[in-house]
Amino acid sequence: MKTLKKILNLFYIEHLKVKEISEKTSVTSAYVTKVIKTDSRYKEEKNFRKEKSKEKRKLDQNNFVKQKRENKRIEDNYAFVQSQHIQASMELSKSKKLTDENYRKWNKSAYKYNPSKHRYEFDKSLGRSYDVPKYIKER
């Protein structure tokens, strides 16, 4: 009788699973199932656990989707940075001298676009050495 009350208490009050109850009480899981099914609260408890399981599954799915999106964002950022690195490496290692166009891309803030002449012009206030182009034609 003591075991019977303990089983019912563990299932309905503490909401333990059948396997956990059988391990705690040292009885078979079949016996635990038989005892809890004879109780009048069984259907109510079953519905309660079903709803709880639905909520948990919904939270888990939301977390899974969030984690997947975050991993995708990180992967995309990494791929973008990697492609920029590869492109920069290729541009800088093609020849010993940078093309004027690549130099302008590399120093974006040093060149301003002049729409009337369709070219990029070097900012005079920065001071220019002889090997830096004054202007670069638009391609």
Helices (H), the chain: 2-12, 18-25, 29-38, 42-93, 100-106
Give the model's pLDDT for residue 101: 83
Q: How confident is the model at residue 124 (pLDDT cuts 50, 70, 90)?
A: confident
**Distance (Å) of CA 35 to CA 32, 97, 104:** 5, 86, 82
Which of residues 31 and 104 earns the better pLDDT score?
31
Q: Is the pLDDT of residue 66 over 90?
A: yes
Q: Is the pLDDT of residue 92 over 90?
A: no
Flag whether the pTM goes above 0.75: no
Q: How confident is the model at residue 1 (pLDDT cuts 50, 70, 90)?
A: low
Cβ-contact 119, 135 below 8 angstroms: yes
Structural tokens at position 128: 């220019």
Mean pLDDT value of segment 21-49:
92
Q: Is the pLDDT of residue 99 over 70?
A: yes
Residue type at 7? I
Write phi, then psi, for 75 (nearest 5 degrees).
-65, -45
Structural tokens at position 84: 């920029």
> What integer best gives the mean pLDDT of the chain?
88
Separation CA 36–CA 34 (nearest Å): 6
* pLDDT over 90, % of the chain: 54
Cβ-contact 21, 32 below 8 angstroms: yes
The 10 Å CB-count burial string (b at 16+, else e) for 51-60 is eeeeeeeeee
Q: Is the pLDDT of residue 77 over 90?
A: yes
Give the model's pLDDT for residue 137: 84
Write phi, then psi, for 21 (nearest 5 degrees).
-65, -45
Query: Domain boundaries in the chain?
Result: 1-39, 41-94, 97-139
Separation CA 46–CA 19 (nearest Å): 16
Q: DSSP for 15-43, please give it.
A: ---HHHHHHHHTS-HHHHHHHHHHSTTHH
Q: How confident is the model at residue 96 (pLDDT cuts 50, 70, 90)?
A: low
